[in-house]
Every structure is written in structure tokens, then in C-alpha cells.
Amino acid sequence: MKRQVEEEINQLKAKILHMGSLAEEMIHFSMKCFIERESNFGEKVFKNEEEVNRFQIEVDELSSRILALYQPEATDLRTIIAAMKINSELERVADQAVNITQTCTLHLFKETPVKTMMEIPRMATIAQEMIKDSLDAFSRSDVELAQAVLKKDEEEDTLKAKVLSEIIGMIRKHPSQTKQLVDLILISRNLEKIGDHATNIAEDVIYMTIGKDIRHPQQQDPPVVSPSL
Amino acid sequence: METAAIMETPKTDKIAVEVKDLNAYFGSLRAVKDFSLNMLEKKVTALIGPSGCGKSTFIRCLNRMHEVTPKAWSEGQVLIHGEDVMKKDPVLLRRNVGMVFQKPQPFPSMSIFDNVAAGLRLNGLRNKSVLAEEVEKSLRDSALWDEVKDHLNKPGTSLSGGQQQRLCIARALAIRPSVLLLDEPCSALDPISTAKIEELILELKSNYTIIIVTHNMQQAARVSDFTAFLLLGEMIEYGVTSKMFTNPGNKKTEDYITGRFG
């Protein structure tokens, strides 16, 4: 017999995954908007954002309901905790995609186009993959995949550093383009943040699956008194 | 048996109850199988597990109540503060190891005062003012004093279920035990009375070693420092409560506390 709490947890997971796919789409459309200088894609981003926000409330409500009605323990409890945290991460991913779109539609499109560095779309691809993989890891309780996401974040950070140094060089060469180039820095920053959110999701998945908190490895566990046998 | 990461027990944490290779039987049926564990002084240890897993049998071995049942016997060793319980007079042992049962059972013909004083009188205390002081102290310790101080002569059975259970705790505390065994003390109580007993347990642990049998997972999680999970007479896992309820080490524990069986 299936436990009622399990059914509700599955519903919660389904909502998170749906929300994640909306956020992934938002990254995709915000990049289309940026690369193709086409504000129609921006509309799609804003439309998805409304839905993501609606899901955020629903996930919180369902999580509270499960906690109140079933007082879950062990894996069930860790899954709810992870779901609530991933919920916030995804809402922030959506916000980053909105910021990229706004930077495009409110600033970049009004200025003379500048040469687009290939690192920025590459960063977007990696960020999108990280979100997808972290959610797949969530769906399958896959620690290995979650760890691969953590590894990928290093690549994202390296690209971000490269973009920054290139842009600083370009600003020196073409000071008249400073405004547009600063916008590019902002966009790369938004993409890097998406990578950070995916990293947080992957860490939540590891906690959910094996009960290990890997967020701050330098912090020692507090001493635990345990009865000897 | 799996445990939480075992670390050196700090010197301040003394062992109150030491159990070595304990087996308990009803005739030929082995209800407790090879238990070996230490329970720390002034800590709350919860015993959880489905009905018939041996929880109550186990705690009844600690004050030799088990052997009172016909055909019941046990082997192995239980040391309380280093003393072998089998070498002690059961009456003296039970003075040191108090017990409270599932259903509140005040002595029916006695007043509230006499219920608490009964154990003291049995131990020879006759001085009325000392007796009154001791009864008041026990009733205060069991968080019942304010509710009953003006009608101590009323029958114990006139109290509500929750109050009766606190009266039984006061009765157990009156003879100043060092270990308190609670066998599902809240299972017959409403949520408010349950909350009061739980608060009381947390207060009492500064002076007493408490071992509680409970079917209520949340109660075990709330009140205990350590939890042992028992199944079919075996101790499956024993460790720190917070870890047991968030990340148990054994699949069977996980399945039980998440309601997959039991």
C-alpha cells in the first residue's frame, strides 16, 4: 500500500520539476533575447516568471501542509527541507533570467550593438545544463550527478573571470562603449549566479539523499556525545 | 547494530545503566535478544519500535519487574550505577529505579497526599512535617503542586487523566530514585496533558536518568537525547536522537520512522 505522505511528496517533487523546466526555458529565452536582439523572447521570460512565482507559493503551501499533517521523519523530512530550499533557488534563477532580459530590453537594445563574446552564450549553456542536471539529480536522488554539477560550477566561474578581464580590456580600448560593456558584465554576473543557484540545489540534493551537509566543508561538525555500547 | 558516530564519551557524562548481553524470555520465547548498551546519566533515552518488539520487556528487566510475570526470566547483566541489579533486593532496587506506567494508576482508596506519601511511609518516614515537605517537593517536581495544593485530601482518582499521570510521577519521585522508567506515559492522555508531561521530562532530566518507551515518534524526537529502535526483540539501531530522526543509519529504522511498516 502506498503511503499517503509519499503521494503528496511525489506531487511536491512534480511541482518543483515543472518549476525547474520553466526556469530553464527562461534562461534559454533570455539568451535568445540577448543574442538575437529580439524582445519577443523577453515576453516569454516575463510570462514564465509569473508562473514560476505561482509555483513558488504552491510549493511552500504543499510543503507546510505535509509538515503539519504528517510530521515526516528521515528521508521524507529531508526531502521536504530540500524541496523548500530548491523552491527558493528556482525562484531566484527565474529572477536572474528576468534581470538579463531587462538589461537587454531596457538598455542594450537602445545602444549601438557591441561585439558579443562567445563566452556569454557558453556560460548560459552551462548554467542551463547545471539547472537541468541538478533537477535530474533531485528527481532521481542521484548523488553522483549532483557532484558533477558542483564540478561544472568551476567552469562557469572561470568563464566569468575571462569575460570580466576581456571586457575591462575592451573598455580601455573603446571607452565610448562602456555602457554596453558594463551591461555585458551584468549579464555574465547573472549567469554566474544561476550557476551558484544550481550548485546550491545540488548540495540540497546530496543532503536529501544521504543526509550529509556539504555546504561548508571547512566548518567542523560540533562534537556529539554518543553513548558507547 | 548500527550507531551514530561513536565518539569518546566526555568525562562529565557518566554511565547510569549498563546492559551486557541481556536476553529476556517468556518461557521459551525470547523477547529481548542480546541487548548490550549504555545509557547515560541525566539523559533521556527513548525506546521505539512496533508493538511486541520488546521495549516494555526490556525496561521491566531494568527494575526486575520482568521476573514477576510467571515463567518470565532473563540472563545477561544489568548494572545500575555499577551495581548488578540481580544481586540487589528487588524492593531496594525499585526504590532507586522508579517506574510510571501507560495508564495512570493512583492508589484508588488514597488521597492525593497519601498517594505521594505512600512510598515514604513504607520506607519508615513518620515525621508529619518532613512528610508534608517531601510530598510538596515531589508534587512541585512533577509540576502538579499549583493545581492540587488546595485539595490534597481529595482522592487521587478525582484528578484528570493527565493530572493522575503527574501524580504517579510525583509518587515515583517521592522516594528519590536515580532512574525513572516511563512506559508509554502519555498514550492515554490528551495533547495538552501530553505536552505537560513532555515539559516535565525535560525538566526532570537535570536530576534523573530517564528511559521512556513511546509509540509516538515525535515524542521520542522531542524529549530524548538518545533513541534505540527495537524490532522483533532485536536492537536495530541506537544513537543520538537528532541523527536518528533526520538520517538514520539503518534501512529498517528509516522504514519504521517514516511509517513504511509498523
Per-residue pLDDT of chain B (262 residues; tens, 9 = 90+): 544 433 334 445 799 999 999 999 999 999 999 999 999 999 999 999 999 999 999 999 999 999 999 999 999 999 999 999 999 999 999 999 999 998 999 999 999 999 999 999 988 899 999 999 999 999 999 999 999 999 999 999 999 999 999 999 999 999 999 999 999 999 888 898 899 899 999 999 999 999 999 999 999 999 999 999 999 999 999 999 999 999 999 999 999 999 887 6
pLDDT in tens, A39-86: 899 999 999 999 999 999 999 999 999 999 999 999 999 999 999 999
Q: Tell me whether residue A224 is in a domain.
A: no
Q: What is the reported pLDDT for A113?
A: 79
Distance CA A170, CA A178 (A): 8
Q: Which grid cell is A177?
A: 562603449
Q: Which grid cell is A117?
A: 563574446
Structural domain boundaries enclosing A42: 4-210
Pairwise CB contact (< 8 Å): A73 & B217: yes
Pairwise CB contact (< 8 Å): B217 & A226: no
Closest residue, chain B, to A229 (C-alpha): B37
Pairwise CB contact (< 8 Å): A229 & B37: yes
Q: Tell me whether residue A221 is in a domain.
A: no
Of A3, A5, A224, which is closest to B5 when you measure between CB atoms?
A224
CA distance A63 to chain B (A): 16
Q: Tell me whether residue A219 is in a domain.
A: no
Of A5, A73, A225, which is closest to B245 when you measure between CB atoms?
A73
Q: Tell me whether residue A222 is in a domain.
A: no
Q: Which of B86, B107, B81, B110 is nearest to B24 (CA)?
A: B86
> Which chain A residues are within 8 Å of B218, Cβ to Cβ?
71
Q: Which grid cell is A30?
A: 533570455
Q: Tell me whether residue A9 is in a domain.
A: yes
Q: What is the reported pLDDT for B6?
A: 37
Pairwise CB contact (< 8 Å): A76 & B38: no
State the total domains in chain A.
1
Angle between helices B161-174 and B112-122 (to 10 degrees): 20
Q: Scanning the structure block, which residue is given the C-alpha cell 527494575? A: B63
- Kindly list the distances between the CA atom of residue B22 and the CA atoms of B59, B67, B78, B213, B227, in Å, as whole numbers in the listed order: 11, 13, 7, 18, 18
For chain A, the residue count is 229
Of A72, A223, A229, which is closest to B7 when you measure between CB atoms?
A223
Q: Tell me whether residue A227 is in a domain.
A: no
For chain A, which residues score pLDDT lower than 50?
none
Q: What is the reported pLDDT for B189?
A: 84
Global confidence as pTM: 0.83
Q: What is the reported pLDDT for A110?
A: 83
DSSP assignment of A97-124 equals HHHHHHIIIIIGGGS---PPPTHHHHHH
Q: What is the reported pLDDT for B172?
A: 94
Distance CA A91, CA A23 (A): 8
Pairwise CB contact (< 8 Å): A226 & B259: no
Distance CA A37, CA B159 (A): 79
**CATH number of domain containing A73:** 1.20.58.220
Tally DSSP H helices, then E strands, for chain A: 6, 0
Q: Which grid cell is A227?
A: 553513548
Closest residue, chain B, to A213 (C-alpha): B247
Q: Tell me whether residue A51 is in a domain.
A: yes
CATH homologous superfamily of domain B2-105+179-257?
P-loop containing nucleotide triphosphate hydrolases (3.40.50.300)
Q: Tell me whether residue A229 is in a domain.
A: no
